[in-house]
Amino acid sequence: MHISKIETIRFNRGITVHAGAVNWLWVRVHTDDGLIGLGETYPAAESAEAVIAHSLSKVLLGRDPREIDRLWADMLLTIGYHGWAGAEMRAISAIDIALWDLLGKITGQPIYQLLGGKSREQIRIYNTCYDHVYDFNQEAGKLAQNLAAMGIRAMKIWPFDATALRNQGQFITPAELQKCLKPVEQIREAVGDAMEIAMEFHGYWNLPSAVRIAQALESYGILWLEEMLPQDNMQAYRLLANETRIPLCLSERLMTRYQFREVVEQGIARFVMPDICWCGGISEAKKIATLAETHYLPIAPHNCGGPILHFASMHLAMNVTNLFILESVRRHYLKEYEGIVTNTGPSSEGWLKAPSEPGLGVDLHPSVFSRSDVVIKNITESL
């Protein structure tokens, strides 16, 4: 068995996140036996697509797709000399997911079984509030009540972002601080402590402002503070951690076990958040989880991309023993994944469960291949 073709599928519509609409890149790895593995990454699909076409295809074509660890190492070696923590690693991530999906189909087993089996029967989730019903900046209390009615008991919001962008992350006034706290107050007034609240900051703030915000949030029983600072200075994060009682969560923009190592070993974060589509795929996310477990830290995978990430995250979450909670976005699985995949992976009473079918247990809907907003390329020999 060998890899005979790599197919890239660029979907320009994408999903809605805090930065607006972002596009997806799906990757299908074909074998000479007719089996196909499906992977995904996002955003900036064109750049990851170029990496696959010009660099990774020469590593993959003609190789045995079952040799996942060797292929991962060879892909990293191929792109490592010019830097890997960007489009290159997103491309590797997409390929790696496809190889695991393919291995599941070859062996007739779900991915979580190949990773070592189930550690739980269902997966606890929180909702990241890119919501299609309520805007948390205006109606956070109603949103919390609506999520609770679905059985969801944790939610993530980012009410400080507009102020950060307006002030370039350099300061926040007392009046602005009080305004940004309003959604948190509304949630507590509406549902009390029945809803966990995680706070997202998208790396917008400087250290003094982050400390001021963190200390203002301490009386609200916040679950975690996520990405308050940019991701390139762990010493600054250590200073922040020392200034607040609220745990820190870091974070999807770190790639591979090598970037997570310092966060874990220095005890900077209490929650470790890899994104399978960015960190190096299922292979690397499993290694990051093991690294975190060695230091008695739980993982809370970032799952705010496309539908294939959603299913890959469920398989990882079913397997790892140190799962804390899994991110999900109801707008995505109730609305934006519809018509794109054969299964949107909806939650049930605040829980998710990975499919037991071979591989990921999901595929692209056949109509995707004839859409006007989809660009398909086939790579049968390296460029």
Query: What was the pLDDT predicted at 322?
Result: 98
- pLDDT bin (cut points 50, 70, 90) of residue 18 is confident
- Average pLDDT rounded to a whole number, residues 181-204: 98
126 with 218, same domain: the answer is yes
134 with 47, same domain: the answer is no
Picking from 184, 180, 187, the residue whose alpha carbon sits closest to that of residue 162 is: 180
CATH number for the domain spanning 225: value is 3.20.20.120
117 with 103, same domain: the answer is no
27 with 103, same domain: the answer is yes
300 with 319, same domain: the answer is yes
172 with 320, same domain: the answer is yes
**pTM summary value:** 0.97
- pLDDT bin (cut points 50, 70, 90) of residue 13 is confident
Query: What was the pLDDT predicted at 21?
Result: 79
Q: d(Cα 206, Cα 190) in Å, to the nearest integer?
A: 32
358 within a domain of the structure (yes/no): no
Decide if pLDDT at 382 tops 70. no
361 within a domain of the structure (yes/no): no
Query: What was the pLDDT predicted at 55?
Result: 96
321 within a domain of the structure (yes/no): yes
pLDDT tens for each residue of 332-373: 999 999 999 999 999 999 999 999 999 999 999 999 999 999
Count how many domains the chain has. 2
Query: What was the pLDDT predicted at 20?
Result: 76
41 with 189, same domain: the answer is no
Distances (CA, A) of 233 to 160, 240, 246, 247, 294: 21, 11, 19, 18, 23
Element (H, E) at 139: helix 136-149
300 with 222, same domain: the answer is yes
171 with 33, same domain: the answer is no
Contact 19, 41 (CB under 8 A): no
Contact 293, 119 (CB under 8 A): no
188 with 82, same domain: the answer is no
Query: What was the pLDDT predicted at 287?
Result: 98
Contact 304, 327 (CB under 8 A): yes
155 within a domain of the structure (yes/no): yes
pLDDT tens for each residue of 83-130: 888 999 999 999 999 999 999 999 999 999 999 999 999 999 999 999
226 within a domain of the structure (yes/no): yes
45 within a domain of the structure (yes/no): yes
359 within a domain of the structure (yes/no): no
- Average pLDDT rounded to a whole number, residues 199-222: 98
Query: What was the pLDDT predicted at 383?
Result: 59
Contact 102, 363 (CB under 8 A): no
Decide if pLDDT at 381 tops 90. no
196 with 328, same domain: the answer is yes
- Average pLDDT rounded to a whole number, residues 171-188: 98
Range of the domain at 151: 113-352
CB atoms within 10 A of CB 5: 17
357 within a domain of the structure (yes/no): no
Q: d(Cα 307, Cα 303) in Å, to the nearest integer?
A: 9
pLDDT tens for each residue of 260-315: 999 999 999 999 999 999 999 999 999 999 999 999 999 999 999 999 999 999 99
Query: Helix (H, G, I), strand (E, B), or coil: what is residue 335?
Result: helix
CATH number for the domain spanning 86: value is 3.30.390.10
171 with 96, same domain: the answer is no
